[in-house]
Amino acid sequence: MSPTRRPEPRPEIMGVAPYLGGESHVPGVSRIIKLSSNEGAFGPPPAARAAIAESAHDMSRYPDGSARALRDAIGAHFGLDPARIVCGNGSDEVINLLIQAYGGPGTELLMSAHGFSIYEIFGTLAGGKVRKLPEQELVADIDAFLGAVTERTRLVFIANPNNPTGSLLPLAELRRLREGLPPEVLLVLDGAYAEYVDRPDYDGGVSLVDAGENTVMTRTFSKIWGLGGVRLGWCYGPPAIVDVLNRLRPPFNISKAAAAAGIAALSEPRWAEHSRAHNHAARARVTEALRAMGIRVWPSEGNFVLADFDTEERARAADAWLRRHGIIVRAVGSYGLPHCLRITIGTDEECTILIDTLREFAESNAPWDTARG
Ligand SMILES: *Cc1c(COP(=O)(O)O)cnc(C)c1O
């Protein structure tokens, strides 16, 4: 037997770097403020914690494979038809299922240059071609998307608000995109941060889903609902696409604990309103404070800001300084933004510590201040 013979995976798999999540530890530092994964500032709603504990009593039985009670709760909360909702083990799973169903070899997936990295990872793993399109000032450029469509284009992904830039496209621009795309191209609007947006014309993508048969909206319990560890996401889509996803998804992809947590989270009075109001105020405070230090902060509609330190060297120095003080933020070099750090909006106390620590950094780096004039 030749020693080199062994099972080999499909070639595209080894070409993909494994997804890197936000870090949570710094060696030698005991008190950590984790602002690296956009997890909601307040953790899980108390009702969700209780529901997870309660669900432990019933773990010998398989969950309901259709997640009926959870879909009913989501439908009631967001005013959507439960029959048109598909739940997933995180919205990442839903995104993967959509790509498995409509992408693959011979097809193209379009995303913007600094779009969410999971689209590229899953698109490549599925054997399709992923094309990243130029942006205008870190905002997805609809004309670039429309100009890039070929007969092989099957999928277009836009996170709105986008991670890691925080940018938001107005509904009119999304409508223009949808109208300009061929009807057989599936447009996926990723609303992972939808609950944080308070703009009158924003609906997370519902009106575009309802307007046709080729747009899907994905959502998650990992951000404002504080349940990233539970793994729970969902999508709202046209009946034909929902049917496809229900054939493709693993039969018991939503655990009993996850379903119970999701239902309970939605029942927590004013959770999203309270979290959104906090985020709005705290994000403005962080943004203004950083700008006063001479750090550029890109406008954000999410629960994070993208802080721009001009150079990679400066961003690395700021990252190292924050770590030394127990604050973990997200380096975004893998997104082609090595001069930036993505900072999650935490509690008021965490924001204060972040601001004070960054101010010390800025003040101890006087040459940089002068260089910026
Ligand atoms: C966090 C995030 C997700 C993934 O959420 P899960 O539901 O935890 O898988 C999807 N899209 C964007 C843009 C995100 O930032």
Give me the phi and psi of 253, to 5 degrees please. -75, -10
Quote the percentage of the chain above a pLDDT of 90. Answer: 89
User: Which residue has its alpha carbon closest to ligand 1 atom 3?
Assistant: 192
Q: How confident is the model at residue 26 (pLDDT cuts 50, 70, 90)?
A: confident
CA distance 213 to 301: 28
The C-alpha atoms of residue 268 and residue 214 are separated, in whole angstroms, by 33
Ligand 1 centroid distance, CA of 106 (Å): 26
User: Would you say residue 2 lies in a domain?
Assistant: no
pLDDT value of position 373? 36
Residue indicated by tokens 């379903």: 259
Q: Atom 14, ligand 1: which residue's CA is nearest?
A: 192
Confidence of residue 1 (pLDDT cuts 50, 70, 90): low
Q: Is the same domain home to 293 and 178?
A: no
Report the separation in Å between the CA atom of 355 and the middle of ligand 1, taken as the mean of its atom positions: 26
Residue 11 lies in a domain: no
Position 372 scores a pLDDT of 44
Residue 373 within any structural domain of the chain: no
Of 293, 63, 306, residue with least CA distance to 193? 306
Residue 332: give the domain boundaries: 16-43+271-365
* Atom nearest to 302 CA in ligand 1: 15
* Same-domain check for residues 51 and 101: yes
Asked whether residue 144 is domain-assigned, the answer is yes
Q: What is the pLDDT of residues 269-316, one digit of tens each?
A: 999 999 999 999 999 999 999 999 999 999 999 999 999 999 999 999
Task: Give the tens place of pLDDT for each residue, 206-222.
Answer: 999 999 999 999 999 99
Half-sphere exposure of 50 (CA within 13 A, CB side): 8
At residue 370, the pLDDT reads: 40
pLDDT value at residue 369: 46
227 and 349 in a common domain: no
Nearest to 218 by CA among 139, 269, 163: 163
> Which amino acid residue places its CA nearest to atom 12 of ligand 1?
192
**Is there a domain that residue 235 lies in?**
yes
245 in a domain, yes or no?
Answer: yes
| Alpha-carbon span 85 to 176, nearest angstrom | 25
Q: Above 50 in pLDDT, residue 165?
A: yes
CATH number, domain containing residue 256 = 3.40.640.10
- Residue whose CB lies within 8 A of the most ligand 1 atoms, among 220, 230, 234, 335, for a mutation test: 220
- Co-location of 259 and 283 in the same domain: no
Closest Cα to atom 5, ligand 1: which residue?
91
Residue 223, both tokens: 């951000």
Q: Are residues 74 and 85 in the same domain?
A: yes
Tell me: pLDDT of 367 over 90.
no
Same domain for 115 and 26, yes or no, is no
Say how many Å lie between the CA of residue 309 and the centre of ligand 1: 25
Q: What CATH number is associated with residue 282?
A: 3.90.1150.10
Do 240 and 302 lie in a common domain? no
DSSP state of 63: P
Residue 176, exposed/middle/buried by CB under 10 A (0-12, 13-18, 19+)?
A: middle
Contact 238, 28 (CB under 8 A): no
Least confident of 26-30, 247-251, 271-275, 286-290: 26-30
Average pLDDT across the chain, whole number: 95
Residue 198 lies in a domain: yes
**Domain shared by 232 and 195, yes or no:** yes
- Give the separation between CA 90 and CA 123, rounded to whole angstroms: 17
Answer with the one of 222, 239, 267 that is the final residue of a domain: 267
Vertex 103 angle, CA 101 and 107, to 5°? 150
- Ligand 1, atom nearest to 95 Cα: 10
Residue 126 lies in a domain: yes
* Number of structural domains the chain divides into: 2
| CA 191 / ligand 1 centre spacing (Å) | 8
Both 331 and 258 in one domain: the answer is: no
- Pocket residues for ligand 1 (CB within 6 Å)? 38, 90-92, 116, 159, 163, 190, 192, 220, 222, 228, 233
Task: Give, using CA atoms, the residue closest to atom 15 of ligand 1.
Answer: 163
92 Cα nearest atom in ligand 1: 9
Q: Interior CA angle at 242 toward 239 and 248, to 5°?
A: 145
- Please choose, from the candidates 365, 364, 360, 352, the residue with its C-alpha nearest in 3D space to the C-alpha of residue 310: 365
Q: Is 110 helix (H, G, I), strand (E, B) or coil?
A: strand
Q: What's the 91 CA to ligand 1 centre distance in angstroms?
A: 6
Q: Indicate the residue among 267, 295, 317 that finishes a domain.
A: 267
Shortest-distance atom of ligand 1 to CA 162: 13
Per-residue pLDDT tens for 50-59? 999 999 999 9
pLDDT digits 0-9 by tens, 315-347: 999 999 999 999 999 999 999 999 999 999 999
pTM as predicted: 0.95
Band (20; pLDDT cuts 50, 70, 90):
confident
**Residue where one domain finishes, among candidates 213, 248, 267:** 267
Cβ density class 66-96: b for 16+ within 10 Å, e for less: ebeebbebbbeebebebebbbbbbbbbbbbb
Compute, in angstroms, the gap from residue 360 CA to the centroid of ligand 1.
32
Atom 1 of ligand 1 has which residue's CA nearest to it?
192
10 three-state secondary structure = coil
154 and 223 together in one domain:
yes
Q: Are residues 54 and 175 in the same domain?
A: yes
Spell out the alpha helix ranges (H) of 166-305.
171-180, 206-210, 239-248, 256-267, 271-292
Atom of ligand 1 nearest to the CA of 228: 8
352 and 287 within one domain: yes
**Residues 309/315, Cβ–Cβ less than 8 Å:** yes
d(CA 265, CA 258): 10
Exposed/middle/buried for residue 274 (C-beta within 10 Å: 0-12, 13-18, 19+) = middle
